[in-house]
Amino acid sequence: MIIVPKHRLAWRMRAVFDGKLPPGEYLTPDVRRHNPGWGDEVFNRVIEQLEFFLPTGHKIILAGMEQYNFFVEATQSTRSRNGAEIQAFWLLGKLPGKNVVEAWRVGNGKVIHDKNPWGREWGGGQTRGWKTGLVWHGKVVSKIMMGH
Amino acid sequence: MALPNTYWLFNNTVNDGANTGNATGGAGGSSSNWVVIDLTNDTIMFLDDQQTDGDARTGSKYPVIIPDAGSLEAPKTFVDDLSAVIFDQVPLAGTTAGEQSGGATRYVFAIYFDGATAGIPTLEAWNDDTHAANNDDFLGGATPADSTLLAIATTNAAPGSATWAGTPLSGTDSRIELDTAALAAAKNLYFNIKQVIPSTFTPQSDSNIVLTLRFLYS
């Protein structure tokens, strides 16, 4: 486990892998300034838990999901002077055995929790980059809590 | 699937051909010619047919005239090109109801992605670059379906009709998907767009509308 002082984890995402083989986790850099690396297939391990760390000291946790996804929502307009701008970060988990996706959106100073249909999880459309999760006999975690 | 670079381009010919030059545009398929839009300085404009291709951008500008009855498709579409100092016409924009070469035209505006995306990119319209509101009168006020900007994705096919209706653009309430799936690799996405002004429209002088591309990466 990588030990980092509180709040230095802000705006970072951690995927904790199943099993005891190293590495035990994948920790992104600050995703406001760096690519998350999630979609680059840099790891192909079964995920036990996904966490996203907020600057408030809270973290969002998803666990026990059949599949996971993480992505950044960006915009570029016809008045964009500095390229694309980040609008939000998304953590998603597909509930085991159900065509339902637990979705957490962090953006515009708000955290929004929602449930969306599988295959229509963002903007009514399908997303890429889903990775396999470890199912705990149907027990799932999808919550926000204090503590990095 | 890192953050892709995106480039907006337009075809300034009457030749309906693909953007083969990707990020840099230039000569394209079927003798088309693609020009990169400078998002910092250039502006897409819907103007009256008195405006002529190549007019100096410092000269007269002819706005669309609100019709007495019914509705009017903006006769011509231009890009106010700061570096070329001209109004550069986009002749294939719009439908046959306009006064240029629109219709079932496919290769009009392009957005080139130099990498993959995690979701289907969408095209939207907002009051301004903050993307906080979409209630400008040009965007339908409180009724997105009444937006004066109507677009159609043409990435995979030309519009099915020379008088295509399109989808009103207004925030995330009414927008178009530019493809049918997330992009697996670099790709050009295409759309056609028109402005239709109803006789009941109230003239605006302070709008700062933007077209917005929204996409996902991971």
Question: Across residues B184-211, what is the average pLDDT?
Answer: 93
B21-76 pLDDT, tens digit each? 999 999 999 999 999 999 999 999 999 999 999 999 999 999 999 999 999 999 99
Under the banding of pLDDT at 50, 70 and 90, the label for residue A21 is confident
Is pLDDT at A4 greater than 60 in this prediction?
no
- Closest partner residue to A76 (CB to CB) among B128, B172, B213 is B213
Q: What percent of chain B has pLDDT over 90?
A: 96
Residue of B nearest to A120 (CA): B119
Which of A105, A128, A131 would best serve as a mutation to test chain B binding (most B beta carbons within 10 A)?
A128
Which of A13, A33, A76, A112 would best serve as a mutation to test chain B binding (most B beta carbons within 10 A)?
A76
Question: Across residues B105-120, what is the average pLDDT?
Answer: 97
Torsion-angle region of B47 (φ positive above 0: left; ψ -120 to 50: alpha; else: beta)? beta
ipTM confidence score: 0.94
- Report the alpha-carbon distance of residue B11 to residue B35 in Å, rounded: 6
CA distance A142 to chain B (A): 21
Domain residue ranges of chain A, discontinuous segments joined by +: 13-146
Which of A58-96 are b and which e, b meaning 16 or more Cβ less than 10 Å from the residue's Cβ? ebbbbbbbbbbbbbbbbbbbbbbeeebbeebbbbbbbbb
Q: How far is CA A97 from CA A114, A118, A136, B146, in A?
A: 18, 11, 12, 41
- Closest partner residue to A70 (CB to CB) among B122, B126, B218 is B218
Q: How many residues does chain B have?
A: 218
- Closest partner residue to B3 (CB to CB) among A77, A80, A84 is A84
A57-115 pLDDT, tens digit each? 999 999 999 999 999 999 999 988 888 999 999 999 999 999 999 999 999 999 999 99
Is pLDDT at B80 greater than 70 in this prediction?
yes
CA distance A124 to chain B (A): 9
Q: Can you give the pLDDT at residue A5?
A: 54
Which two structure tokens, joined as six digits, stand for B138? 């040009």
- Closest partner residue to B218 (CB to CB) among A39, A75, A123 is A39
CA distance B36 to chain A (A): 12
- Report the alpha-carbon distance of residue A32 to residue B24 in Å, rounded: 28
Mean pLDDT for all residues in chain A? 92
Under the banding of pLDDT at 50, 70 and 90, the label for residue A41 is low
- Report the alpha-carbon distance of residue A86 to residue A72 in Å, rounded: 7
Residue with tokens 């002082």, as numbered in its chain = A5
8 A C-beta contact, residue A39 and residue B116: yes
Q: Can you give the pLDDT at residue A77?
A: 96
- Report the alpha-carbon distance of residue A5 to residue A53 in Å, rounded: 12
**Window from A24-28, A144-148, B135-139, B157-161 with minimum mean pLDDT:** A144-148
Cα B102 to chain centroid distance, Å, stands at 13
- Report the alpha-carbon distance of residue B105 to residue B161 in Å, rounded: 9
Is pLDDT at B100 greater than 70 in this prediction?
yes
Q: Can you give the pLDDT at residue A148?
A: 79
Mean pLDDT for all residues in chain B? 96
Does the reported pTM lie above 0.90? yes
Q: Can you give the pLDDT at residue A3?
A: 58
Residue of B nearest to A108 (CA): B132
Q: Residues in chain A whose beta carbon is closer than 8 A to a beta carbon of chain B?
A: 35-40, 69-81, 83-84, 87, 90, 122-123, 125-129
Residues A94, A98, A102: CA angle, nearest 5 degrees: 35
- Report the alpha-carbon distance of residue A118 to residue A125 in Å, rounded: 9
Q: Residues in chain B whose beta carbon is closer than 8 A to a beta carbon of chain A?
A: 1-3, 5-6, 8, 37, 39-40, 43-44, 116-120, 122, 126, 128-129, 131, 172, 177, 181-182, 184, 208, 210-218
CA distance A147 to chain B (A): 25
Q: Can you give the pLDDT at residue B206?
A: 79
